[in-house]
Amino acid sequence: MKREAYWVVIPAYNEAATVRDVAARARRHCPNVIVVDDASSDGTDSVLTGLDVTLLCNERNCGKAGSLVQGFEHALSHGAVAVLTLDADGQHAPEEIPAFLERSLDDPNAFLIGVRRRDQRRVSFWRYVANRIADFWISWAAGRPIDDSQSGFRLYPSRLLREVTIPHGREESFVYESEVLIEAARQGFAIENVAVSVSPRSGPSPSHFRPLLDILKITRMVAWKLLRRGLFLSGLYRVVVGRKEGRSSHSVYCEREVTGPVRKS
């Protein structure tokens, strides 16, 4: 497989200040870049003029989940073997895309998650606490330790996107990215980590992730899945044991250190 078989999807909502730079840098490492403008009101679509990317525009706000799925469908229809996702706000470094591509070549069916160093995740105390709570619940439901479950820097293999169907309405928004981790684990997909860096948001708009409300939605989704499986205590046991084994071996699961015109559709 060559990098031409991979696609990048960048969901964007009111990210005019940063999205062009992110998309341009992503395209240096992957020629197929899709920006999904989720009915922005700040001219997000217009700042991409002259950049050789595919622009998909939502007439109404569909939320992050809906924008991701729209991008996935477009990429799959054009023969993508895998789809990378990263945020439009400048937090993720597109220069780290090659690390995902190299890992995908080793295991084309692996679901890759960009995991930030813990000290970087602690920049915002309450956001860090919310993310750690989400990590615990999602790991329990998945039956295996999952680090940085809220990271949007990921690589989805095409088989996962075709076989795992997750609700993606506006209400799901950030819940989608959590639920797909659980379902991927339950259906036997390997979930591996790629160590990544993260930068503070460089744009003027605040994060669209709401720590309290979105974590409550994620917890509700996970709780329902656990109840349907009789609390899945064996999954909790595997997570606890797995965490202890990971600490004793001083390693992180599967982690490898990583030293033209707009086409409108």
Supply 212's token pair: 């309290």
CA Rg, the chain, in Å?
A: 18
pLDDT score for 97: 98
Which amino acid belongs to residue 45?
A: D
Which amino acid belongs to residue 55?
A: L
pLDDT in tens, 132-180: 888 999 999 999 999 999 999 999 999 999 999 898 877 767 799 999 9
Question: Considering only CA atoms, which of 190, 233, 180, 184 is closest in space to residue 65?
Answer: 180
Query: Is the CB of residue 83 less than 8 Å from the CB of residue 180?
Result: no
pLDDT tens digit at each of 265 positions of the chain: 578 899 999 999 999 999 999 999 999 999 999 999 999 999 999 999 999 999 999 999 999 999 999 999 999 999 999 999 999 999 999 999 999 999 999 999 999 999 987 766 656 677 788 888 889 999 999 999 999 999 999 999 999 999 998 988 777 677 999 999 999 999 999 999 999 998 876 655 655 666 677 778 888 999 999 999 999 999 999 999 887 776 533 333 333 333 344 555 5
Query: Is the CB of residue 12 less than 8 Å from the CB of residue 36?
Result: yes
Domains of the chain, start order: 3-259 (3.90.550.10)
pLDDT score for 201: 63
Which residue stretches of the chain are H helix?
Answer: 19-27, 63-77, 97-106, 118-121, 125-142, 158-163, 175-186, 211-228, 233-248
